[in-house]
Amino acid sequence: MIERENCPTCDLNKDYWARQNELIEATRMQRGADRLTKERKQLRLALFNLLHRYIGLVESGDCGHWDVHAEPEVIEAKAALKQR
């Protein structure tokens, strides 16, 4: 390809492909963000279900008696679930 000085068509092509590359990168980033959002929702649900089941087990008395709500792990899990 011969490079031409002051070629408006060449400049338009460069601008077009630069913009296409920006759009491709933005799409890739959005897909990554969407995937992370979906995974976050799945993890929050899994943590909620695990916490609910654990608290239910402890409060049933089948494993002894203690204040499950005072455990640091339970406190941390509840705090994590309150975050948006």
Q: Tell me the pTM.
A: 0.69
What is the pLDDT confidence band of residue 4, given thresholds at 50, 70 and 90? low
Q: What is the pLDDT of residues 23-65, one digit of tens each?
A: 999 999 999 999 999 999 999 999 999 999 999 999 999 988 8
Q: What's the confidence (pLDDT) of residue 5?
A: 65
Contact by Cβ (8 Å): 55, 77:
no
Residue-level pLDDT at 12: 80
Phi, psi of 33 (to 5 degrees): -65, -40
State the pLDDT at residue 43: 97
pLDDT over 70 (residue 79)? yes
63 neighbors 57 (Cβ within 8 angstroms) = yes
Question: Strand pairing partners for 64?
Answer: 62
